[in-house]
Amino acid sequence: MVHFFHPKGTPFFILQISSPPPFIKIRFNPMPFFFQRKEKKSPIMKPLGPVYADEIKHFHSKYRIDKVLVLHYTNNVSVGIDRITHDSVIIKSAFNQGTPKLKEANLLRKLRNVTGVMDLLDHFHTQERVHLVITKNFGDMTLKRYLQEMNALTEDDARKLLHQVITTVQECARFNIFHFKLKTDNLMLDIHQWQVKLKNFDCATYIRPEGFKDKKRKLCFERAPPEYHSQSFFYWDTYTVWSIGTLLYEMLFSRPPFNCAYDIINTPCFKKPPHHLSRHAQGFIESCLKKKEEERIYWKHLIHHPWITNTF
């Protein structure tokens, strides 16, 4: 027995088979999903009640959405315009589920005086969403995109950028903040001044001296240290040192040093000495990428390494 229905203009049908087993009902929409029209929702959602009306009104009085870059069901990223200065800004919007974006806003507020961190200009909290307004007047592209277009960096260029990253990481540590995704696509690069700034602090948390044991944490799989893959446990400082080593390797070779967990645990970073690297650069990478965390260089000594200070 087949029944056809057309509710609200959308055709579907129910097929009922009256033989044992007693019956099976199959309901499906024969119209392909790519023909079904879906309205794009604005990344700035209206609040459910009047309690946040002033907050959303204040947002629209200061900024307007110019272009939506990422439209996702939980997170949106847009380019906005400051109505007063007419400067472009980045607006990150997320559903108010838990506190991740509120935590990111609190972290960025604490790091406002750190020069190597993207500036938080504003923060709005409504009943449905959290909106972060971040400066857009720095950088031409991410470091990852630059490496894809221009290939690997020279040692001098890599040294200047890595010195800035290490300084930023150490300043964040003074505020008890740890960024666990130090990678090229989280670094904005200003080509003209040859400067980088760290972004995406939803990938950051407060330092826990007792260490981290959290499988649900969204780490960069190919950049996580061996102890994470073998024990599901790591300390923030040795993790940071490992991330610095993988970052420098990618700057100099335009690719990550390891491709899988087996390589991270068992394979040395250099199977044979690279001819185009100085022994000091190679020594710095090897001191960061030791398989045993207790053998890695101490995080406070990174900035004083001979290759970083260029005093060899």
CATH of the domain at 57: 3.30.200.20
The reported pLDDT for the residue numbered 254 is 92
Residue ending a domain, choose from 97, 116, 135 = 135
Residues 168 and 116 in one domain: no
Q: Is 46 within a domain?
A: no
Q: Is the peptide bond before 21 cis (omega within 30 degrees of 0)?
A: yes
Distance CA 133, CA 76 (A): 12
Low-confidence ranges of the chain (pLDDT < 70): 1-52, 97-100, 214-221, 312
Residues 220 and 87 in one domain: no
Walk across the sheet containing 12-17 and list its strands. Answer: 2-5, 12-17, 24-28
Q: Is 200 within a domain?
A: yes
Distance CA 52, CA 19 (A): 57
Task: Supply 8's token pair.
Answer: 């609200």
Q: Bridge partners of 90?
A: 79, 134
Instruction: Report the candidate in 183, 175, 241, 238 with the shortest Cα–Cα distance to residue 207.
Output: 175
Residues 97 and 7 in one domain: no
Indicate left, alpha or beta for 39 from its phi (over 0: left) and psi (-120 to 50: alpha). beta
Residues 297 and 154 in one domain: yes
Q: Is 264 within a domain?
A: yes
Residues 178 and 85 in one domain: no
The Cα angle at residue 220 between residues 173 and 223, in degrees rounded to 5: 80
Walk across the sheet containing 129-135 and list its strands. Answer: 63-71, 75-82, 88-95, 129-135, 120-125
Structural domain total, the chain: 3
Q: Is 34 within a domain?
A: no
Task: Supply 290's token pair.
Answer: 């030791």
Residues 177 and 300 in one domain: yes
Q: Is 82 within a domain?
A: yes
45: Cβ contacts below 8 Å, ≥ 6 apart: 93, 126, 128, 129
Chain centroid offset of residue 105 CA: 14
95, 165, 172, 207, 303 from 210: Cα distances, Å: 31, 25, 18, 9, 24
Residue ending a domain, choose from 116, 135, 154 = 135
The reported pLDDT for the residue numbered 278 is 93
Q: Which domain holds residue 15?
A: 2-29
Residues 153 and 127 in one domain: no
Residues 205 and 265 in one domain: yes
The reported pLDDT for the residue numbered 272 is 82
Q: Could you report the per-residue pLDDT of 223-265, keeping only the tens digit for each?
A: 789 998 888 899 999 999 999 999 999 999 999 999 888 999 9
Q: Is 97 within a domain?
A: yes
DSSP secondary structure letter of residue 120: E
Sign of CA pseudo-dihedral 195, 237, 223, 290: positive
Instruction: Report the candidate in 138, 128, 136, 122 with the shortest Cα–Cα distance to residue 60.
Output: 122
pTM: 0.77
2, 67, 183, 185, 251 from 304: Cα distances, Å: 78, 44, 22, 26, 20
Class of residue 293 by CB neighbours under 10 A (exposed 0-12, middle 13-18, buried 19+): middle
Residues 155 and 289 in one domain: yes
Q: Is 37 within a domain?
A: no
Distance CA 210, CA 265 (A): 23
Task: Supply 271's token pair.
Answer: 């199977």
